[in-house]
Amino acid sequence: MGRAGAALTLAAVGSFIGGTIATVGLVAAAKPLGEMGLLVGPPEFFALMVVGISLLVALAGKSMVKALISGALGLLISMVGIDPVAGAPRFTFGIDNLMDGVSFVAVIVGVFGLSEILSFRRSEPTPVVHAPGFRQLFPSRTEWRRSAPAMARGTGVGFGLGLIPGMTGSVSSLLSYATEKRFSRFRSELGKGAVEGVAGPETANNAHANAALIPLFTLGIPASPTIAVLMGAFLQQGLTPGPSLFTEHSEIAWAIIASLFIGNVLLLLLNVPLVGLWTSILRVPTPILTAVILVFMVIGAYTINFSVFDVYVMIGFGLLGLALRNLDIPLAPMVLTLVLGPLMERSLRESLEISQGDFTVFTSRPISAVLIGLGLLIICSPLLKLRKPKALMEDPEA
């Protein structure tokens, strides 16, 4: 809280570290890593989703029931749209705009952004924010020390998930946050200014973005729509991404990798020295700042699809978010299931088609069996009290 400068710096440094390590991975071990990514078939993907959803337990906070309600709500919302396998619309009530499902960005902006602003109204006069002095712009020694393990975990999560074709960057950020919530020593402070909440996810999503290039370079497979645009650019220049790129056009391949390193450095250079500039935005009086943010949110929701419908979605979810806040229902589980739900459904159906209805497909394959076991373990861990029981009783958030 009030450590805006430190947060921005940590985010920038974390991104740099995550991105650079991922690029080093690309250089050092692209081929074997690319092939590892192939090991993840639909059953393994589904098992990963199970682990992801099990971390919902970690995001639960005080009431497990409320967290589950939130999670169920997210799953319900993710069902809206065209059934990905059968092709028939569901829960769209005949509204064409809902055929693609509810726009994720509109939901997030509404549920987190708009509801937060709406909840300002009810509190006492908003606190005056002091523009931070120079010393306060950068993280303290303690904050650096605490961030290090978070960044390490974030790099691991982001890099690992980035290798898997089909995994989007937001999954990495979410799972990194959930990982911090579950495994960090200071997890009770998350949501109240713990540095791990910034350091982990930022590192994760940069590690993910850079690692996602590995399937492209080694197999010629785009792991996400963004990478696919890159692939299209390659193809237009007559270069086919894949192993042949390194043998036939090695100077281009290495030039691109070099540019990745340079890009990461530039990221650091652009962000850190200018931290003072960005944080001075806080000097604007809060009511005006809030109004400006509101305008940006409306414009942002509109420009997703150049459709006013998405603005209505944002407003609707803003009101929903407000209601959830008042009922003390946590918002994070809903977002988690909203992102993971469709991925989980798709991979479940594909897995069952491969096994032709046989559910043991998940347990008979080593990787997915291990992952599902891990997921179950995480779900049961509060019951098993794997940490010291005394600490659990003192910690109200357990």
Nearer to other proteins, 35 or 189 (CB): 35
Could you say which residues in the range 173-212 bind other proteins, by CB under 8 A?
Answer: none
Select the residue interacting with other proteins from 105, 152, 282, 298 (CB under 8 A).
298
- Measured CA to CA, the distance from residue 199 to residue 178 in angstroms comes to 13
**What part of residues 223-242 is at the interface with other proteins (CB under 8 A)?**
225, 227-229, 231-232, 235-236, 238, 240, 242
Q: Among residues 27, 29, 274, 354, which is the contact residue for other proteins, using CB under 8 A?
A: 354
Q: What are phi and psi of 40, to 5 degrees?
A: -85, 100
Question: Which of 83, 328, 358, 397: binder of other proteins (CB under 8 A)?
Answer: 83
Task: Collect contacts of 368-374 with beta carbons under 8 A, ≥24 apart.
Answer: 368/43, 368/44, 368/46, 368/47, 369/47, 370/47, 371/44, 371/47, 371/48, 371/50, 371/51, 372/47, 372/50, 372/51, 374/51, 374/54
Cα dihedral sign for 56, 57, 58, 63? positive
In the bound state with other proteins, the residue whose beta carbon lies nearer, of 241 and 333, is: 241
Among residue numbers 28 through 47, which ones bind other proteins (CB under 8 A)? 38-43
Residues between 120 and 139 that touch other proteins (CB under 8 A): 121
Q: Kindly tell me which of 61 and 241 has the beta carbon lying closer to other proteins.
A: 241
Among 66, 68, 80, 89, binds other proteins (CB under 8 A): 89
Of 153 and 365, the one with the shorter C-beta distance to other proteins is 365
Q: How far is the CB of 394 from other proteins (least distance, A)?
A: 41
Give the per-residue contact string, 271-290, with other proteins (x = CB under 8 A; - = no): ----------------xx-x
**Choice between 278 and 296, CB closer to other proteins:** 296
Tell the smallest beta-carbon distance from residue 225 to other proteins (Å): 5
| Candidate list 2, 63, 72, 84; residue touching other proteins; CB under 8 A | 84
Regarding 265 and contact with other proteins (CB under 8 A), the answer is no
Query: Could you tell me the smallest distance in angstroms from the CB atom of residue 227 to other proteins?
Result: 8
Piece in contact with other proteins (CB under 8 A), picked from 48-56, 60-68, 190-198, 349-357: 349-357
Provide the residue type at 39 as one letter. Answer: L
- Whether 209 contacts 215, CB under 8 Å: no
Closest CB to other proteins among residues 97, 188: 97
Kindly state the number of chain residues that form the binding site for other proteins, as judged by CB under 8 A.
56
Minimum CB separation of residue 326 from other proteins in Å reads: 20
Q: How far is the CB of 111 from other proteins (least distance, A)?
A: 18
Which is nearer to other proteins, 232 or 273 (by Cβ)? 232
> CB-wise, 370 or 391, nearer to other proteins?
370
Cβ of residue 309: shortest distance to other proteins, in angstroms? Answer: 10
List of residues contacting other proteins (CB under 8 A):
38-43, 81-89, 96, 99-100, 121, 165-166, 215, 219-222, 225, 227-229, 231-232, 235-236, 238, 240, 242-244, 287-288, 290-291, 294-295, 298-299, 302, 308, 311, 346, 349-350, 353-354, 356
